[in-house]
């Protein structure tokens, strides 16, 4: 479709960036980016005229998205140059050539374009020899100032390393090490966004280890010496997630991995530099309280855990068991499973109906009831009422 419209509109049109890389790697990718030598917004309009769907414009950037009738998003950019002179503001936009567009990208494997015009369909534009780096599984920057221009690229490099099982070449790795201190200049928000993406990928323990090697954690006050322990903890945590799949908090999982190096160095207070959400803070608070808790390791019945752990979220509890490697961990996990669908046989209202005088002691009675339910001693409402008397 795009090819025919390109011919009719008499514009050069290219598939560009991550999608080209993933085509060569034969990996799925729904992020379709195309670049037009000419006006991208006009081209998106042409596509709509030819095939329907709708167009969303982002005029400041001279870009548009064409939403295909099937719902697929296709981002259309004008070949352009972004300047870094005013890093805090929006980039100055200037129409330019395709090779300039490729030059401002991050890595050679992401800086290839495939021409879509019918007469040259499939022609590869690869000024940095990304093909060869794909073959040798190498992440390579385009120039020596790349990480200085944008330190988040270091985190992107690590993401591609783990995802594709690639490695940075020597030069890129040493540039990453030398620019790592720049990481501290980034806003907390940008770091957090990259962490979310990093820890979504397959190998959080490997990612944590790699980031120690590149001195990422150390920039934020984590001790060099906690690398090994962090790696082990992350491995245990990953295993727990795979086995138990706790339903709550899937979204916060990246954060739990992110917290490990700080936790291992006993410096969780340093995480306040990452302007955290309420939920993140609650997790940290839970972890702190759980670390101070005594006596949990002696518990042998699932219900008894409830007295200690009722108010803690699954995620925090799993984080702690993963770290402790406790011998009663099977009982805790069976407690977690049971409490997810624990039936409520009696409420405060029921107690009143049974002739009891309301008061703060209700709380203790209901807790005892929950403990008995979790231990499998009470299995119905009738049994609960009987237990009450
Ligand atoms: P993913 O599959 O994780 O989305 P991607 O490579 O498609 O990976 P995007 O973040 O969607 O990643 O970026 C699309 C393209 O934009 C990249 O392939 C790269 O060429 C370019 N790009 C993205 N971020 C940067 C950056 N910080 N610096 C330079 N180029 C970038």
Q: What count of other Cβ atoms lies within 10 Å of the Cβ of residue 300?
A: 8
Instruction: Select the more confidently predicted residue: 82 or 377.
Output: 377
Least confidently predicted of 12-16, 62-66, 106-110, 176-180:
62-66
Contact 259, 287 (CB under 8 A): yes
Contact 175, 144 (CB under 8 A): yes
CA distances for 183 relative to 15, 30, 89, 141, 296, angstroms:
31, 30, 19, 17, 40
How many Å separate Cα 279 from the centre of its chain?
Answer: 16
The CB of 153 under 6 Å from ligand 1? The reply is yes
The CB of 110 under 6 Å from ligand 1? The reply is yes
Chain position carrying tokens 């955290």: 276
Cα–ligand 1 centroid distance for 355 (angstroms): 66
**Which residue, by CA, sits nearest to atom 13 of ligand 1?**
18
**Which residue, by CA, sits nearest to atom 25 of ligand 1?**
106
The CB of 150 under 6 Å from ligand 1? The reply is yes
Give, in degrees to the nearest 5, the angle at Cα 280 between 270 and 212: 45
Q: Angle at which helices 204-213 and 227-244 pack, to 10 degrees?
A: 170
Cα–ligand 1 centroid distance for 105 (angstroms): 8
The ipTM is 0.97
Per-residue pLDDT at 305: 87
Contact 180, 219 (CB under 8 A): yes
State pLDDT tens for residues 328-366: 778 888 888 888 888 999 999 999 998 888 889 999 999
The confidence band for 260, taking pLDDT boundaries of 50, 70 and 90, is very high
pLDDT > 50? residue 112: yes
Q: Provide the CB-side half-sphere exposure for 42 (13 A, CA).
A: 12
**Which residue, by CA, sits nearest to atom 1 of ligand 1?**
18
CA distance 284 to 274: 13
The CB of 152 under 6 Å from ligand 1? The reply is yes
The CB of 18 under 6 Å from ligand 1? The reply is yes
Atom of ligand 1 nearest to the CA of 104: 29
CA distance 246 to 255: 15
Least confidently predicted of 41-45, 156-160, 198-202, 356-360:
198-202
**Which residue, by CA, sits nearest to atom 8 of ligand 1?**
18
Give, in degrees to the nearest 5, the angle at Cα 49 between 43 and 50: 90
Q: pTM of the prediction?
A: 0.86
Strands (E), the chain: 12-16, 32-37, 54-58, 63-67, 73-78, 80-82, 93-95, 113-115, 124-125, 138-139, 167-168
State pLDDT tens for residues 113-130: 999 999 889 999 999 999
Least confidently predicted of 6-10, 32-36, 178-182, 204-208:
6-10
Cα–ligand 1 centroid distance for 8 (angstroms): 30
State pLDDT tens for residues 216-236: 999 999 999 999 999 999 998
């Amino acid at each position: 479709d795009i090819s025919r419209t390109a011919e009719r509109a008499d514009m050069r049109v290219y598939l560009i960036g991550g999608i080209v890389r993933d085509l060569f790697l034969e990996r799925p990718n729904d992020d379709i980016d195309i670049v037009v030598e000419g006006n991208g917004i006009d081209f998106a309009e042409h596509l709509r005229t030819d095939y329907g769907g709708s167009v969303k414009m982002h005029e400041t950037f001279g870009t548009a998205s064409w939403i295909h009738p099937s719902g697929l998003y296709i981002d259309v950019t004008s070949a352009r140059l972004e300047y870094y002179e005013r890093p805090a503001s929006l980039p100055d936009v200037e129409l330019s050539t395709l090779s300039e567009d490729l030059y401002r990208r991050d890595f050679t494997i992401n800086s290839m374009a495939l021409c879509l015009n019918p007469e040259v369909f499939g022609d590869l534009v690869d000024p940095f020899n990304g093909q060869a780096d794909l073959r040798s599984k190498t992440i390579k920057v385009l120039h020596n100032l790349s990480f200085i221009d944008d330190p988040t690229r270091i985190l992107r490099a690590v993401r591609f390393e783990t995802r594709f099982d690639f490695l940075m070449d020597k030069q890129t790795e040493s540039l990453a090490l030398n620019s790592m201190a720049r990481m501290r200049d980034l806003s907390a928000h940008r770091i957090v966004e990259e962490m979310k993406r990093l820890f979504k990928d397959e190998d959080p323990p490997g990612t944590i280890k790699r980031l120690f090697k590149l001195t990422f954690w150390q920039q934020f006050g984590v001790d060099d010496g906690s690398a090994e322990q962090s790696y082990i903890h992350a491995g245990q945590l990953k295993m727990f997630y795979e086995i138990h799949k706790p339903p709550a908090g899937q979204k916060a999982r990246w954060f739990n991995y992110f917290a490990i190096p700080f936790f291992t160095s006993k410096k969780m207070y340093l995480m306040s530099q990452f302007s955290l959400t309420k939920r993140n803070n609650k997790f940290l608070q839970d972890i702190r309280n759980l670390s101070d808790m005594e006596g949990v390791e002696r518990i042998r019945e699932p219900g008894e855990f409830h007295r200690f752990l009722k108010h803690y979220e699954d995620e925090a509890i799993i984080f702690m068991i993963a770290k402790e490697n406790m011998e009663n961990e099977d009982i805790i996990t069976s407690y977690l499973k049971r409490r997810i669908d624990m039936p409520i046989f009696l409420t405060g209202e029921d107690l009143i109906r049974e002739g009891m005088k309301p008061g703060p002691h209700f709380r203790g009675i209901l807790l005892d009831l929950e403990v008995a339910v979790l231990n499998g001693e009470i299995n119905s409402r009738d049994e609960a009422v009987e237990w009450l008397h």
